[in-house]
Amino acid sequence: MTLIDVDGIDVAYGDLQVLWDVSMTVDESDSVVTLVGPNGAGKTTLLRTLSGLLEPSAGSIEILGEDISRHPAEEIIDLGFVHVPEERNLFDEMTVYENLRMGSFTHRDQFDETREEIFEMFPVLEERREQKAGTLSGGEQQMLAIGRGLMAQPDVLALDEPSGALAPQLAERVFQKIEEISTDITVLLVEQHVDRALELADRAYLLENGRIATEGTGDELLESDHVVDAYLRG
Ligand SMILES: Nc1ncnc2c1ncn2[C@@H]1O[C@H](COP(=O)(O)OP(=O)(O)O)[C@@H](O)[C@H]1O
Ligand SMILES: [Mg+2]
């Protein structure tokens, strides 16, 4: 089954076009689909468009078979797509527990059960359940942002540079969690750690200057001359 079908979209901020004719597929059988590309390529813009925050001027997007242009942004989560933004958007003054509860608004009745699963996956969140989110370390905040996203029980969890600004050891721990999560649900992973993100990927896309420059399996991209020359050498 196709979870996400992006077909030839153009996206602009006012007069500034940022995405050109972008097509991308995420299938239920994919564990991880990775989107890589340099700063400013349009990766975040693509995730925002999938979340319904931006509207394509051309092309179409279907999430679990539903044309998202017929749904307001607040319904996209119900379709099964959750986007954890790069800036995480945690409620700093609320506790870990309260932040998790904010993530479960579409599945209130299953809050206790889902929260227990998330505490199992991220024991540090249980230890710090009464601590205010703003006082957590960067790595803990990233785990909380991912945990809060999982509370909505998505079919696709999109993560925008989850390892960004983390020390290498913490970044590696985040990648391990992503691998663990991806055994249950499909992860759409946007990353600048190109080699690690491609290793995890069943399917991968390289976005450059707002266009899909290369696509294939993670291994194919890891071996592509273009990817190696531009992103992996040195
Ligand atoms: N809110 C905005 N208004 C105008 N231009 C923007 C906005 N957000 C991003 N851009 C521009 O869109 C392009 C793609 O940005 P972005 O999607 O954030 O790239 P990436 O996530 O790949 O680094 C950049 O040129 C950026 O300056
Ligand atoms: Mg970005």
CATH of residue 146's domain is 3.40.50.300
Q: Tens of pLDDT along 15-24?
A: 999 999 999 9
Domain count, the chain: 1
- Residue 167 reports pLDDT greater than 80: yes
Taking the centre of ligand 1 as the mean of its atom positions, its distance from the CA of residue 137, in whole angstroms, is 27
Q: What percent of the chain has pLDDT over 90?
A: 81
Give the residue, out of 19, 35, 45, 159, with the most ligand 1 atoms within 8 A of its beta carbon, to mutate for a pocket test. 45
* Average of per-residue pLDDT across 148-167: 93
Taking the centre of ligand 1 as the mean of its atom positions, its distance from the CA of residue 126, in whole angstroms, is 36
pLDDT at 229: 87
- Residue 107 reports pLDDT greater than 80: no
Q: Which atom of ligand 1 is nearest to the CA of 41?
A: 22
Name the residue with the closest Cα to ligand 1, atom 26.
40
* Average of per-residue pLDDT across 147-164: 94
pLDDT at 234: 63
- Residue 62 reports pLDDT greater than 70: yes
Give the residue, out of 10, 11, 17, 18, with the most ligand 1 atoms within 8 A of its beta carbon, to mutate for a pocket test. 18
- Residue 231 reports pLDDT greater than 90: no
* Average of per-residue pLDDT across 151-176: 92
Closest residue by Cα to residue 33 from 219, 156, 189: 189
Name the residue with the closest Cα to ligand 1, atom 18.
44
- Residue 220 reports pLDDT greater than 90: yes
* Average of per-residue pLDDT across 83-105: 92
Residue 199: other Cβ atoms inside 10 A: 15
Name the residue with the closest Cα to ligand 1, atom 12.
18
pLDDT at 73: 87
Using DSSP's 3-state secondary structure scheme, residue 51 falls into coil
pLDDT at 143: 94
**Structure tokens, 121:** 């996956």
Name the residue with the closest Cα to ligand 1, atom 2.
13
Q: How far is C-alpha 223 from the chain's CA centre?
A: 24
Helices (H), the chain: 43-50, 73-79, 96-103, 111-121, 123-127, 138-151, 168-181, 194-200, 218-223, 225-227
What radius of gyration, in Å, describes the C-alpha atoms of the chain?
17
Ligand 1 contacts (CB < 6 A) are: 13, 16, 18, 37, 39-45
* Average of per-residue pLDDT across 19-43: 96
Across the chain, mean pLDDT equals 93
Name the residue with the closest Cα to ligand 1, atom 5.
13
Q: Tens of pLDDT along 118-136?
A: 999 999 999 999 999 999 9
Structural domain including 158 reads 2-232
pLDDT at 111: 85
**Structure tokens, 225:** 């001359």
